[in-house]
Structure 1
Amino acid sequence: MRPVALVTGISGVLGSAVVPALAQSFEIVALTGRRPIDLPCRQVGIDLRAPRLGLDAAAFKALAQQADVIVHLAGNVRYTASAEDLHAVNEGGAAQMVALAEAAGSPLLYASTAFAARHTQAAREASVGAVCSSRPSAYHRSKAAADDRIRSCTQPWSIIRPSIVMGDSLDGAMPELQNMHQIMMFIAAGLPAIFARPDQRVDMVPRDHVAAAVNALARLAVEGSPLPGEYWATAGPAALTAAEWIDVLGASVTAAGLPFQRPALLDPFTTDLTDYPQWETTRRSVRRALGNLYVSALALGDGDAFPASTLPESLRVPEIDPAAARSLFANDMAWLLQKRIVPGPRHHEPATAASPAA
């Protein structure tokens, strides 16, 4: 019989890539919300906020007895969620999965984020006030708290740290648009300036690369091999700088036959949101999009590269070098341009004009 992997978050952007990868070696039992998902695997409805995942003692014990490895991918990833909701699902859910792993006596893999330690931007985030409700630092704090819960597990564990998850490496395909896609569309639409320092790293990794790493770690876990405490699923030192990222984005737009206006770069750490050119005459919807871009830029940090982990040769997942980083992001941008209509460049618009796509 194949080993059994209990997996949360199978319907998410990462989970929907992880399941096919795991299915090659594992029987999957999906731990879902109360509504079943249309996938050919056994499913158990759970509640990440509740003790014993919302199961009675007998059902919790029976679930634990099935597990050879637990893969926890689910969480609240909304930058607009309250700190209370984020901690209830992310930190609270991690605590419940630790309890499940300990009851099962099985290893636990947890998908966190490479940005979990990025809290220093919180004060500047607050300056956006009511312009937008996006607060990445609240999400990052909840993931850091969840990391601490995972580290308390008495069973083998590994924290997986993906950076910004982009579409599949082959063609950039993604099951649903992400916040980064909205930013890419906004820039492609002709925004005259964006918040970013030229040297900030825009670390992006294809979702199938992350899925391959999760599968490899799960295989190590059931073999009884040592697990890395942290696995950095990132581009690492190969990640594009913001200036390089704009180069690739602009080249993709022009390759699609659209005009491109290269935006000026405004340092988010020294420039306030309201210092944006012609702020007072900018439409409310554009201000909101600029606020989202501003807080997202703060989360990119000061330009230092993330680490990038490797695995044993037999389980090696693709590594990203500078050329691959450019090619992968070009694929991502090409997919977006194929799927979404990005309007031509527009200059800064007064409050009475139509807003660019965001």
Structure 2
Amino acid sequence: MPAAPTVLLTGASGVLGTALLPELSDRRVIALVHHTPVPGADEQLTGDLTAPRLGLDATAYADLCARVDAVVHCAAVTGFTDGPAATHALNEAGTLRIVQLAADADALLYHVSSAFVARTGITGFGPGQDTGERTARPGNYLDSKRAGEDVVRTSGVPAVIIRPSVITGDSRTGEISAFQGLHGMLASLLRGRLPLVPLSPGSLIDFVPQDVVAATVAALVRDGAHEGEVWVTAGDQALRADRLLELAAEFAAQAGLDLTLPRMVSPDLVDRLIRPVFMADLPPATRRRLDDLLAMTALFTAHQPFPTDLGKPGLPAAVGADRAESALHAALSQLVRAKDMNRPAPALVTA
């Protein structure tokens, strides 16, 4: 009986990596780890994505290249506060090291990027980057992911670029290895810490549960896909901002949380009126939190949906509105449990 194909997985301890390991149970998975041990992998290899030969000696590197059939590259700096140097060191330079390994191993590469690279107006090099007191700067992250994609595209290595939107927890339980930026915004909303929401009602909040993204990546690996770009998004079924707030209010009422929904205002109004007139008198911590909120919500100001490849032959079903609402409920329930906000969350009430 032939041995199972071998997959090298980076970022195995992250949100997507932890969800992907069970999906690759029919493969032999080598997890490249930096510090954190990864339960569930067939083998763990300590290395450094930013170092030559991934930090391995020549013999270990040659042995790895001889065994690997495919590389799934999930590792990335995903936070918006790490700064451009640290972000590019892993998301661009680290991708260059992985591309080199894929070439040396004659292996297929599955590179996880972000659907938000399509928001070309959000960049760390644009005007106004130093205004406000925010610590969250998504433009630096998106610049680094665009640079990582360029590394893959120009390498000549057979590769698939995978573009998920915001990854939330498991679609059924809401469980996730680490809360993400959207979770932080939802937690602030449930706690009544958002004085306003700088979005128009029709802004699309595109998110996809981690199990859907993991199943997509695993399907591509099993199929041996070797080129193209795959969008893993809700597409035109993404929740509108006003609908998300409505669902959050319904959830809060059922959970016994005292929630007064914040007012929705256009980002333009914030810059023209609220910032110059009102923000100067706010406490520094409140100004910083509001500035970080403005930076985060800039990702969702578009009304134009992302493309999506979900529902195409061989890939998981599309994320319809019902599933998106159910996944949001699961995420909110997990927040309430993990943050001990109140009593256990209620059962889902469907429209």
Taking structure 2 as the reference length, the TM-score comes to 0.89
Cα separation, 1, equivalents of 2:217 and 2:122: 29
Cα separation, 1, equivalents of 2:217 and 2:106: 19
What amino acid sits opposite 1:97 in the alignment?
Answer: I
Cα separation, 2, equivalents of 1:33 and 1:341: 31
What amino acid sits opposite 1:89 in the alignment?
Answer: L
Question: What residue in structure 2 maps to residue 126 of structure 1?
Answer: 129
Moved more, 227-236 or 98-107: 227-236
Contact 2:252 2:258 in 1 (8 A): yes
Cα separation, 1, equivalents of 2:122 and 2:146: 15
Moved more, 235-244 or 118-127: 118-127
Cα separation, 1, equivalents of 2:74 and 2:94: 10
Structure 1 residue 302 displacement after superposition: 2.1
Contact 2:31 2:41 in 1 (8 A): no
Structure 1: runs of 5+ lacking an equivalent: 344-358
What amino acid sits opposite 1:187 in the alignment?
Answer: L
Q: What's the secondary structure of 1:116's corresponding residue?
A: helix
TM-superposition CA deviations, 1:318-354 (whole Å, max 9, x none): 32112222222122112212322448xxxxxxxxxxx
Task: Confirm whether residue 181 of structure 1 aligns to residue 183 of structure 2.
Answer: yes
- Summarize the alignment of residues 154-233 of structure 1 with structure 2, pairs less than 5 Å apart: 154-190=156-192, 191-221=194-224, 226-233=225-232
Question: What residue in structure 2 maps to residue 17 of structure 1?
Answer: 19
Cα separation, 2, equivalents of 1:21 and 1:252: 31
Task: Confirm whether residue 253 of structure 1 aligns to residue 252 of structure 2.
Answer: yes
Cα separation, 2, equivalents of 1:240 and 1:124: 30
Contact 1:200 1:301 in 2 (8 A): yes
Question: What residue in structure 2 maps to residue 354 of structure 1?
Answer: none
Q: What's the secondary structure of 2:270's corresponding residue?
A: coil
Question: What residue in structure 2 maps to residue 355 of structure 1?
Answer: none
Task: Confirm whether residue 57 of structure 1 aligns to residue 54 of structure 2.
Answer: no
Cα separation, 2, equivalents of 1:270 and 1:230: 36
Structure 1 residue 250 displacement after superposition: 1.2
Q: What's the secondary structure of 1:307's corresponding residue?
A: coil
Structure 2: runs of 5+ lacking an equivalent: 343-351
Structure 1 residue 10 displacement after superposition: 0.3
Contact 2:109 2:160 in 1 (8 A): yes
Structure 1 residue 270 displacement after superposition: 4.4
Question: What residue in structure 2 maps to residue 297 of structure 1?
Answer: 297
Aligned pair count reads 336
Cα separation, 2, equivalents of 1:167 and 1:235: 15
Q: What's the secondary structure of 1:14's corresponding residue?
A: helix
**Kindly tell me: are residues 273 and 42 of structure 1, through their superposed partners in 2, closer, same or farther at Cα, counting changes over 3 Å?**
farther
TM-superposition CA deviations, 1:32-63 (whole Å, max 9, x none): 11564444521111211112212233322211
Moved more, 102-111 or 172-181: 172-181
Question: What residue in structure 2 maps to residue 42 of structure 1?
Answer: 43
Question: What residue in structure 2 maps to residue 142 of structure 1?
Answer: 144
**Kindly tell me: are residues 335 and 35 of structure 1, through their superposed partners in 2, closer, same or farther at Cα, counting changes over 3 Å?**
closer
Cα separation, 2, equivalents of 1:342 and 1:245: 19
Taking structure 1 as the reference length, the TM-score comes to 0.88
Structure 1 residue 113 displacement after superposition: 0.6
Structure 1 residue 186 displacement after superposition: 1.1
Q: What's the secondary structure of 2:176's corresponding residue?
A: coil
What amino acid sits opposite 1:68 in the alignment?
Answer: D
**Kindly tell me: are residues 235 and 228 of structure 1, through their superposed partners in 2, closer, same or farther at Cα, counting changes over 3 Å?**
farther
TM-superposition CA deviations, 1:183-242 (whole Å, max 9, x none): 111112223412112121110100010000111011011xxxx44511111111100111
What amino acid sits opposite 1:204 in the alignment?
Answer: F
Structure 1 residue 121 displacement after superposition: 3.2
Percentage of identical aligned residues: 32
What amino acid sits opposite 1:20 in the alignment?
Answer: P
Structure 1 residue 271 displacement after superposition: 2.3
**Kindly tell me: are residues 260 and 325 of structure 1, through their superposed partners in 2, closer, same or farther at Cα, counting changes over 3 Å?**
same
Contact 1:35 1:45 in 2 (8 A): no
Structure 1 residue 175 displacement after superposition: 2.0
What amino acid sits opposite 1:236 in the alignment?
Answer: G
